[in-house]
Chain A
Amino acid sequence: MSTAADPQLQAEVTEWLFREAELLDDGFERKWLEEMVSRDIVYQLPLRQTVERARGAGWVEGTYHLDERYGSLNTRVARNETAYAWAEDPPSRIRHFVTNIRVTARPDGLIGVRSNLLIYRTRQDAVTPQILSGERHDTLRREDEGRVLRLLERRVLLDLTAIGTHNLSIFF
């Protein structure tokens, strides 16, 4: 039986999420990947459809906008480090707003986290932002003899069927 986290764990996880958002907003993707992401990561952004209520929320089994492992995430970070990553050079201005953080201590020792996410993105001199709203279902694991919390699973559930941004060169 999972239990709601004690205040100390809640504070630790909240601090972890805020640090992660800061690294991503400030463009430290490599540091985020190497320090905060587990080598066993499963990072997915499933595809959603509008369906009748009886069929649920519309997540389409086995289809994704992103379905990443450590190797492919590393490839994405490496791509952005080349001199030809036009999609992010000049870089987007990204702000991750992370709220509604719900932490669960699981019997297997893993930590479940749900958070709401709002990403506000602008490019060049655009005054109309691209806004992506959704929920993240994360699993964190203590690694390196318990010294470090790392992201083991992330499922990004966007509130969109057609995605209103010209690419997903950003991290959620």
Chain B
Amino acid sequence: MTETTSASRADKILADLAEGLPKGEIPATLYGNRELYERERRNIFARCWVYLAHESEIAAKGDYVLRKIGEDYFIVVRDEDGGVHVHFDACRHRGVQICRADSGNTSHFRCPYHGWTYDTKGNLVGAPLWKNAFGGMDKGANGLAGAARVDSFHGLIFATLDPTAPSLRDYLGGMAWYLDLLFGLNEHGVEVLGAPQRFVIDANWKSGADNFSGDDYHLGTLHKSVWEIGAFPVPFAANMMGYHIQASPGHSLSFSMAPNDDEPGPKFFGFPERLTDTFDTQRISAHQLDAARRSRVLVGNVFPNFSILALPMTEDGANFPPTAVLTIRVWQPLGENKFEVWNWFCGYKNMTPAEKDRSYRAGLGTFSMGGAFEMDDTEPWITVGRTGRSAAAEALDFRLNYQMGMPGIGISHPVKDWPGPGIVYWTRYEEGVQRNLFRFYHDMMTAAPGQWPALGFEES
């Protein structure tokens, strides 16, 4: 009875995680254990608010896109009255896929098996020879299954499958303040610049979440080439100045920010001045506008797998100066060692077509699977997964070092006079942002059904 079974191995990894986090240690097997992944599907992806689509992707009545929560397919559709629904892509009759395209416009979805037909609100509206087959049966009880709750924030559509989940606003907690200052800088807001790019990597989805929670330190080594080709205007050392912020449990972000307004470098993430002239405090506070003005880069992750990044880039430094690239992405799990990247570029709606085109090209040439930045990112993530799956990591009790910025280590220090929410550090030589990700991860993985970990930090 002393043999460690597979099921309890996941428990042991989580216990090691809880024990290691205060010391800045994370078990390497977190990035590859299969049983842990099966639990993630249920405890994280079937419970948390998960990003699905931007409202601009389904602007017209009947517009739909096919998306995923965890590994499962959901239809995100705008109904005849303008409401947004998230339907489980499975017919009530035999569970067959009813949405057979990645996107489109429709008034109904018809199952190809027996012809059960649903409207965009998910109501069952009929089936062939209804009276013969189903006369007397209640249509109302046989609509499509929907996400437990759907909500949006600045046009970003999220859904949760857990009826006990807190509201989206409560779930985002302190992160909402930071999403405001990226997506709410003027009355127009943002829209997607085209359909999402999708590509598949043999690695663990948490590598994406970990990286975008605020791993700025890797730029100096992994992305050294981008400075050599002039793709990014802020030198590495200067770019390490800024704030690391644990916005609320699970959600983290990082700013590259000038110490004061006098710095000549890019402001407002490098958005063109004609656009930044329209940024105001209509939807955000003066503090938020000021933080955005001083920002060169914002990178962050909304737990579990929705990441955002804004920064000035160029795909061709010899011919075009850097301009703001705004990418939002999802790290879609496909197993413990496979995930799909969904990558959208966004622009402010009141940018000119030329400004949108420039931003899109700069993004495609830097932060996409063919981009100078991102093509290197996937390279180490593949072997993070290899190490995570290894028997050696188990046998050697191999722990990963997440100690940067802990007391007595490095130059970073807590900041008390920051106007926004969260736990804040000055300089980006710091990994508390990632420890925050994994602390909440642990708490979700060990929470009983219906129970939710704290969504705010205790007052210190």
Please name the residue on chain B nearest to A128 by beta carbon. Answer: B202
Report how far A49 CA is from B66 CA in the complex, Å: 11
Contact of B199 among A62, A82, A165 (CB under 8 A): A165
B101 pairs with A166, CB closer than 8 A: no
B224 interfacial by beta-carbon distance below 8 Å: yes
Question: Given that A55-B104, A75-B229, A84-B225 are contacting pairs, would A162 and B364 also be in contact in the complex, using a CB cutoff of 8 Å?
Answer: no
Q: Which of A50-103 contact B (CB under 8 A)?
A: 50-52, 55, 58, 60, 62-69, 71-72, 74-76, 78-79, 82, 84-87
Given the known A-B contacts A51-B102, A167-B378, are A72 and B315 also in contact in the complex, defined by CB atoms under 8 Å? yes
A49 lies within 8 A of B370 (CB) = no
How far, in angstroms, from A55 to B221 measured CA to CA in the complex? 45
In-complex Cβ contact of B201 among A72, A78, A166 (8 A)? A166
B257 at the interface (CB under 8 A from A): no
- With A51-B103, A72-B315 already in contact, the answer to whether A163 and B199 are too (CB < 8 A) is yes
Whole-angstrom distance between the alpha carbons of A169 and B221 in the complex?
Answer: 18
Instruction: Indicate the size class of the contact surface on chain B.
Output: 35 or more
Q: Are B370 and A167 touching (Cβ within 8 A)? A: yes
CB-CB nearest in chain A for B362: A72
Chain A residues near B200: list those with CB within 8 A: 162-166
Q: Is the CB of A47 within 8 A of B194?
A: yes
Shortest beta-carbon distance, B300 to chain A, in Å?
Answer: 23
Given contacts A65-B370, A86-B222, A166-B378, contact A51 B228 (CB under 8 A): no
A65-B368 in contact (CB<8A):
yes
Residue in B101, B222, B315, B382 whose CB lies within 8 Å of A75:
B315
Task: Using CB atoms, name the residue of chain A closest to B222.
Answer: A86
Cα of A119 to Cα of B317 in the assembled complex, Å: 30
Residues of A contacting B100 in the complex (Cβ-Cβ under 8 angstroms) = 50, 52
Q: Which residue of chain A has the shortest Cβ distance to B192 in the bound complex?
A: A63
Complex contacts, B315 vs chain A, CB 8 Å: 72, 75
- When distances are taken between beta carbons in the complex, the residues of chain B under 8 Å from A82 are 224-225, 228-229
Pairwise interchain contact A166-B194, C-beta atoms closer than 8 A: no
User: B60 to chain A: closest CB distance in Å?
Assistant: 15
Task: Place the interface of chain A in its size category.
Answer: 35 or more
Of the residues A72, A85, A162, A166, contact of B198 by C-beta under 8 Å: A162
Q: Which of B198, B318, B369, B370 has the most CB of A within 10 A?
A: B370
Residue among B202, B221, B222, B375 having the largest count of chain A Cβ atoms under 10 Å: B375
> A67–B120 Cα gap in the complex (Å)?
35
Instruction: Kindly state whether residue B280 has any CB partner on chain A within 8 Å.
Output: no
Which residues of chain A are within 8 angstroms of B372 by Cβ–Cβ distance?
A: 75-76, 79
Is the beta-carbon distance between A66 and B103 smaller than 8 angstroms?
Answer: no
Q: How far is the CA of A47 from the CA of B196 in the complex (A)?
A: 8
User: Does the CB pair A167–B195 fall under 8 Å?
Assistant: no
B215 at the interface (CB under 8 A from A): no
Q: Which residue of chain A has its CB nearest to the CB of B372?
A: A79
Query: Are A63 and B382 interface neighbours, CB within 8 A?
Result: no
A63→B318 CA distance, assembly (Å): 24
Q: Flag if A87 contacts B229 (CB, 8 Å).
A: no
Docked Cα-Cα span, A82 to B375, in Å, equals 14
A63 to chain B minimum Cβ distance, whole angstroms, is 4
Contact status A168-B198, CB under 8 Å: no
Q: Are B370 and A52 in contact (CB under 8 A)?
A: no
| B window 263-298: CB within 8 A of A | none
CB within 8 Å of B: which A88-140 residues? none
A161: Cβ under 8 A from any B Cβ: yes
Q: Please state if B369 and A87 are interface contacts (CB–CB under 8 Å).
A: no
* A86: B residues at CB distance < 8 A: 222, 376, 379-380
A51 to chain B, nearest CB (A): 5
CB proximity of A49 to chain B, nearest CB, Å: 4
User: At the interface, yes or no: A5 with Cβ under 8 Å from chain B?
Assistant: no
A87 to B340, alpha carbons, bound, how many Å? 18
Q: Does B111 contact A (CB under 8 A)?
A: no
Query: Interface digits, B409-440 against A, CB 8 Å rule (1 contact, 0 not)?
Result: 00000000000000000000000000000000
Is B197 an interface position by the 8 A CB rule?
yes
In whole angstroms, what is the CA distance A38 to B188 when docked?
Answer: 41
Q: Would you give the shortest CB distance from A108 to chain B, in whole angstroms?
A: 27
* Complex: A167 Cα to B379 Cα, angstroms: 9
B365 beta carbon closer than 8 Å to chain A:
yes
State in angstroms the CA–CA spacing of A52 and B198 once bound together: 19
Contact indicator B228/A71 (Cβ below 8 Å): no
Q: Is A23 an interface residue (CB 8 A)?
A: no
Is A41 part of the contact surface with B, judged by Cβ < 8 Å?
no
A71 touches B318 (CB 8 A): yes
B224 contacts A51, CB within 8 Å?
no
B-side contacts of A167, CB under 8 Å: 199, 369-370, 374-376, 378-379
A37 to B224, CA, bound (A): 27
Tell me whether A72 and B374 are in contact in the complex, defined as CB-CB below 8 angstroms, given that A65-B368, A161-B198 are known contacts: no
Least CB distance, A32 to chain B, in whole angstroms: 17
Question: Is residue B329 contacting chain A, with contact meaning CB distance below 8 A?
Answer: no
- Residues A87 and B199 in contact, CB atoms below 8 Å apart: no
* Distance between A52 CB and nearest chain B CB, rounded to angstroms: 5
A45, CB-defined interface residue at 8 Å: yes
Contact A51/B222 with A162-B340, A163-B199 known, Cβ cut-off 8 Å:
no
10 A–B pairs (Cβ distance < 8 Å), ordered by A? A55-B101, A63-B197, A65-B370, A67-B364, A74-B316, A74-B318, A75-B318, A86-B380, A166-B199, A167-B379
Shortest Cβ-Cβ A-B pairs, 8 listed? A168-B370, A63-B194, A167-B375, A71-B316, A162-B198, A84-B224, A49-B102, A166-B378
**Residue positions of B touching A, CB distance < 8 A:** 100-104, 194-195, 197-203, 221-226, 228-229, 231, 315-320, 340, 361, 364-365, 368-370, 372, 374-376, 378-380, 382
Besides the contacts A71-B318, A164-B199, what 4 more A-B pairs have beta carbons closer than 8 Å?
Answer: A72-B365, A84-B223, A87-B378, A165-B200
